[in-house]
Structure 1
Amino acid sequence: MSSYITTYTRKHFDPVHPDPERIVIEDIAHALSLLCRGNGHVTTFWSVGQHCICCAKEAAGRGLSDRIVLACLLHDASECYMSDVPRPFKQTMQEYICQEETLLSMVYTRYLGTDLTAEEQKQIKEIDDDLLWYDMTKLLDEPQGGEAPELHFELDYTVQPFGEVEQEYLEIFKKYYGVK
């Protein structure tokens, strides 16, 4: 058996021993547009890519820096190589968490120049948690306690074809990353 996955762009990527040069935004955008949030336990398909786009839009709506907007877009990028694991289960998987943190750090360093600071991580987690509140309410019909978090963009749960999600993801990336 091989020790790598073959990505959308046909790169051989070893998620256990990742090479930052093989991290490609096209692979991230494509894979995340096809991965379903909530491990598929939602009332309708909602991709991780759509979630990341919403996080980026919320960061922009809050007036946060371009760096944070891009970091929000990328905050689940490791899932394109490792898949998603539901939070309750992930919390018991220390090795997975370590591998995920290493890979995500590589993604941030590759596209942001450095890893995130503790304050930046806190800002992204707050946005991620705020959107999770809506996901739980709208995609699982599971009312959440407390008041709805205030959002600074219009959240629309219309399912888009994966190609459109992939394209929008790449457009937001290019807007905040710039052409290199």
Structure 2
Amino acid sequence: MSYITTYTRKHFDPVNPDPELICIEDIAHALPLICRGNGQVSSFWSVGEHCILCSKEAVARGHEDRLVLALLLHDASECYMSDVPRPLKQIMDIYNKQEKHLLDVIYTKFLGSTLSEEEERQLKEIDDAVLWYDLKYLLGEGEEAEKPKLHVNVDYTVREFKEVEQEYLKLFEKYTCK
């Protein structure tokens, strides 16, 4: 079998992604069910929550809707490929190429094009800042690095996955319907 069956019952091949089969409902459903940090955290915190927090930070920093949406989608490939911890990901060239390709397909479908170098830089800056807080509050790490300034309040209260899924979809609609 060369495909996965998604929540909406599509047969999706993450190696040869068909943009027509990429569905925001599949992304919004799967990401709240995937735990950050490969599950090695003090309490469940989903990839969906992380993406929502990143997109809210982009709004608070005054970024354009396109970057807000890009941050909401920046881990969307994980709903099709799963997450791989950074130490492994750094040595997995094929995985990284495939993940980049899939993200490019996702960005093109929902944003109209891939991200520019400047957008990639801004996205990484926000993603890394939120990661610092994830490490601090979910693992008690991050003290050695300088605390980045966030413009949103960080609340690691665990929510029902359906609540996260609904918020993800609302944010997606808000920043694609302008």
TM-score (norm 1): 0.97
| Partner Cα separation in structure 2 for residue 56 and residue 143 of structure 1 | 21
Q: Superposed, which structure 2 residues align to 1:1-180 within 5 Å?
A: 2-178=1-177
| Partner Cα separation in structure 2 for residue 159 and residue 172 of structure 1 | 19
The CA deviation at 1:35 is 0.2
The CA deviation at 1:141 is 1.1
- The amino acid across from 1:34 in the alignment is L
CA RMSD of superposed structures (Å): 0.9
Q: Please say if residues 136 and 144 of structure 1, whose CA atoms lie closer than 8 Å, have aligned partners that are also in contact.
A: no
- The amino acid across from 2:175 in the alignment is Y
- State the 4+ residue runs in structure 1 displaced beyond 6 angstroms: none
How many correspondences in the alignment?
A: 178
| Partner Cα separation in structure 2 for residue 71 and residue 117 of structure 1 | 11
- The amino acid across from 1:140 in the alignment is L
- The amino acid across from 2:156 in the alignment is Y
| Partner Cα separation in structure 2 for residue 148 and residue 141 of structure 1 | 13
| Partner Cα separation in structure 2 for residue 59 and residue 106 of structure 1 | 22
The alignment-based identity, stated in percent, is: 65
| Partner Cα separation in structure 1 for residue 101 and residue 121 of structure 2 | 18
| Partner Cα separation in structure 1 for residue 142 and residue 50 of structure 2 | 19
Structure 1: unaligned runs, 5 residues or longer:
none
- The amino acid across from 1:60 in the alignment is V
| Partner Cα separation in structure 2 for residue 144 and residue 37 of structure 1 | 19
- Listed one character per residue, the Cα deviations across residues 84-113 of structure 1 (whole Å, up to 9, x for unaligned) are 001110010000000000000000000000
| Partner Cα separation in structure 2 for residue 143 and residue 111 of structure 1 | 33
The CA deviation at 1:114 is 0.4
